[in-house]
Amino acid sequence: MVGKLVDSSGKPLANKKITFKVGSKTHTPTTDNNGKAVIRDKNTNKSLILTSCAGDSNYNPYSAGLNNKKILKLLSIKTGKI
């Protein structure tokens, strides 16, 4: 599974930790220069996936739930400057 973290203008955010919870396992990859974070878990198509990013002094935190690659609920996905 690949997640991409971008700001409100679509600019990739590098070196940010993203947390993916797949079933009972938690993965915390860091985004690359293209804003992409990769996890390898054979259960990504079978489980509810919760994803989040803590945010920092420039960006708000966000979290979302996904089930079979569909977003179930966005709690906060604004990643623009505060």
pTM exceeds 0.85 for this model: no
Q: pLDDT of 41-55, one tens digit each?
A: 777 777 777 888 888
Cβ contacts of residue 28 below 8 Å, gap of 6+?
Answer: 17, 18, 19, 20
Q: What is the pLDDT of residues 23-80, one digit of tens each?
A: 888 999 998 998 888 888 777 777 777 888 888 888 888 887 776 555 444 333 334 4
Confidence (pLDDT) at 33: 95
Which residue, 34, 26, 31, is CA-closest to 50? 26
Q: What pLDDT, on the 0 to 100 scale, is given for residue 32? A: 92
